[in-house]
Every structure is written in structure tokens, then in C-alpha cells.
Amino acid sequence: MKRSFGTRTEINDPNQPAIVVKNLHKSFRLPTEQSFGLKQAIFNRLRGIKGYKEQKVLKGLNFEIKQGEFVGIVGRNGSGKSTLLKILAGTYYPEKGNVVVNGDLVPFIELGVGFNPELTGRENVYMNGALLGFSNKEMDAMYDDIWDFAELKEFQDQKLKNYSSGMQVRLAFSIAIRARGDILLLDEVLAVGDAAFQRKCFGYFAELKKEKRTVILVTHSMESVQTFCDRAIMIEDGKIIVDGSPLKVSKKYLESNNRNIKQDNVGEDKTTNYIQASAKSTVTSESVQLSFTIKPKQKLEDFVIAVGINKNDGQQIYRWASDEKIKTPIVFEANQSYKLNLKLANYFPHDKYNVVLLIKSLDRSIDFGDFFNITNFEIISTNPYQSTTHWQIPEEYELQS
């Protein structure tokens, strides 16, 4: 039954890095049959069945975290992030390799650990505090502050089961931020709740950064990585694939998330009195390509072609107009097909989008054709460019007959 050769040591030396991980491996034994029983275990042994299958989760991680560094750990679901976090926190045991934790580590992975719905808020605060290492006396001293911060004072003698989930999270968070460790493990899942609560969480993260505490933040949000982290590590399939600047890691993360997503969307032909038009969109991990086919029924002069990309909630996040981009006048002959190709870098946040094609006279007084939702596309990703307001999409365009 000997299966652990890994070690996790705790030291206390201000001259050493905060965390050193060397060649860390971890695998789990997943029961193939229901083996939570003596009977099954005996049967398996008799039949020579192992009764489990080995799943490798971490495959040799190496990294160091310096004192005072704010490091983000990113990776898609199932990449091994949580397992790594649990090994750092000491709840899971390393299978192979060494982990050295220097100083007092406070895991902030889950809120409200040990919360019991049958106990009152007051009792839960003391229990939760004890898990963070605070004695009753210390808890007495900070008791009022905790309730003030959570804004729940009037509920302190109610049983926890009568709290809403949001209230429980607020209470747990208010206790958790009292923890004074040298190294903090944070999971951004914490920052759930309403906008006001999220602001409090992010305010706390910012404060930690200002205090130069050693923090490991696990997150899916590249915005947080870029806002708070000095460095980031991306894990995929149990291995570190990038370890570097937040921007570098964000880009890699975006690529990885967009991989294998190529969609083609051909819109229907639409017709107005003046124009027949159709559009096609192609999304890859690098770009969004829109190609429009425009066929006027009569000769068009002094006109403008405008393209808009809207989120499905109506917010416009990109627009292109021919009179701003193409200086020479355009003339379209009757009954001839023209193609407009627009290639945009795929900086689009995860969402659904629709495309609008508008063809108007130069002074915008005559509508030759309003083609709403001429095509649409969907971006499935979590990319580093969360905000839709502060960036310009690199674009290429081409107009051909």
C-alpha cells in the first residue's frame, strides 16, 4: 500500500523563497466499481481486479514563488489547478516530488469551512475563527468588526440555516480576511456575490498587493491576472505550459481557450428595393472574418457602407464605415456582385454577436438597405481582453468586384 514518496515540508526562513515546488506529481485512484465496501474489496482481490484506475492529475510541476510575490495560477477546468492548491495547502499529499512552504500559509480556497447550519451566526463565527487559529479571546476582540463589515449585525443570533447564501458568504468573507498568514492562497471563486461584495473582495486583493504579501490567486479572469499579479503560471493537463508575465500568460490562455473553435456562419440573402446582400462570418482563434456580398439593383454613387458588430444585448462594440476608411469614391454598377471582406483580430470577449450592414447615401439621408442581423457569430472563450471599451480591434479590409 506504500504509494507516497512525496514530501511537503514547512520551514520558516525569511531568506528563502515563499514556496518551492519541485517535480510535483499527483494521481488519484478512481474506483472503477463501487468499492466503498468490504465485500467489493474482497471480491476485487479474489478476482485479481484492481478496482480502481489511476488518473494522473499533476505531471511534474516545478516553480518557485518569491516572498512578496503576487502570482496568478490559471488553467481551464480540469487542468489540475485545484489539486495543486490543495497540495500547497496541505490537504492533499504529494505523490512524488517536494513542496516546501516557508511561513504560515492560510488557505482561502473556500469560504465558510466548518460552517454549520444548525448553529447560530455567533457560534459559527467562533468556530470558523478557531479554524483560522484564533482563540476565543482574540475572536471577542474582533467580533464587532466582523459583523459590521458583513453588515449583518441584527442576524447574529439567528441560526445559519436562516441566512441567505449571499449572507453566509458575506459573513464568511468578513471572518476570512482577518486571517494573518505569510502566504495566502486565494481562489477567485470567492468573489461571487453582488457587485458591492465583489468590490469589497477586489479591494481586499488590492490591499494585499499593497502590503506586499505573498499571494497565490487562482482565477479564470485575465483581467484580474493583469490587475493584481506580478507573474502568472498557466497549467494545462497537469503541466506548466507558461510561467511569465501576466500579459504573456493571458495571451496564451486566450489561445488555448479558443483552440478548435472554428465556426462558419452563412447568413441568408436579404433584399431591399435597391440591394440584395448576404454575409458570412468565420471565427477562428485568431480572427473573426466577415465577408459581405452586395449586389445593387441600380447604379450606386455617393454612398457609404457601414458595418456594425453588436452584442446580442444591443451594445455596439465595433463599427466600420467605408467613408472613414476608403478615401477614393466608390461606385457600384447595377446587377454586379461586390465583395467586402473584413478581417478582425479575435479580441472579442465571450459572448454572442450579430452583424449589421447598412448602406446609405453619404449624407445618411437615404437608406439603400438596412440589413440587421445579416449574420451572427459566437465567441466561446475567456480571453484577456475583458473590457469592450478601451481597445481597438486590429482590422484589415478589402473591397472587390
Nearer to another protein, 93 or 204 (CB): 93
CB of 153 to another protein, least distance (A): 22
CB of 131 to another protein, least distance (A): 6
Contact 209, 220 (CB under 8 A): no
- Interface with another protein, residue 4, by CB under 8 A: yes
Q: What is the dihedral of CA 181, 185, 191, 193, to 10 degrees?
A: -70
Nearer to another protein, 23 or 40 (CB): 40
Nearer to another protein, 61 or 87 (CB): 87
CB of 312 to another protein, least distance (A): 39
Nearer to another protein, 4 or 335 (CB): 4
Cα separation, 101 vs 25, whole angstroms: 16
CB of 164 to another protein, least distance (A): 20
* Cα separations in angstroms, 19 against 36, 86, 216, 233: 36, 14, 10, 14
CB of 115 to another protein, least distance (A): 9
Nearer to another protein, 158 or 271 (CB): 158
CB of 190 to another protein, least distance (A): 13
CA 194 from centroid of its chain's CA atoms: 17
From the list 178, 26, 37, the residue with the least C-alpha distance to 111 is 178
CB of 45 to another protein, least distance (A): 13
Cα separation, 242 vs 75, whole angstroms: 10
Site for another protein in 83-142 (CB under 8 A): 86, 89-93, 107, 109-110, 113-114, 116, 118-119, 123, 126-127, 130-131, 133-136
Cα separation, 115 vs 112, whole angstroms: 5
Q: Kindly state the DSSP code that residue 312 receives in the 8-state scheme.
A: T
Nearer to another protein, 133 or 244 (CB): 133
Instruction: Enumerate the β-bridge partners of residue 20.
Output: 64, 100
Q: Kindly state the DSSP code that residue 292 receives in the 8-state scheme.
A: E
Cα separation, 345 vs 334, whole angstroms: 33
CB of 135 to another protein, least distance (A): 5
- Interface with another protein, residue 36, by CB under 8 A: yes
Window 13-32: contact mask with another protein (x via CB under 8 A): ---------------x----
Nearer to another protein, 184 or 374 (CB): 184
Element (H, E) at 332: none
Nearer to another protein, 79 or 124 (CB): 124
- Interface with another protein, residue 39, by CB under 8 A: yes
Nearer to another protein, 35 or 265 (CB): 35
* Cα separations in angstroms, 241 against 59, 175, 181, 351: 12, 35, 29, 26
- Interface with another protein, residue 298, by CB under 8 A: no
From the list 167, 136, 138, the residue with the least C-alpha distance to 150 is 167
CB of 221 to another protein, least distance (A): 23
Interface residue with another protein among 38, 46, 195, 196 (CB under 8 A) is 38
Half-sphere exposure of 67 (CA within 13 A, CB side): 11
Beta strand ranges found along 130-262 (DSSP E)? 183-187, 214-218, 231-236, 239-244
Count of residues that bind another protein according to CB under 8 A? 31
Query: What is the contact surface with another protein in residues (CB under 8 A)?
Result: 1, 4, 28, 36-39, 41, 86, 89-93, 107, 109-110, 113-114, 116, 118-119, 123, 126-127, 130-131, 133-136
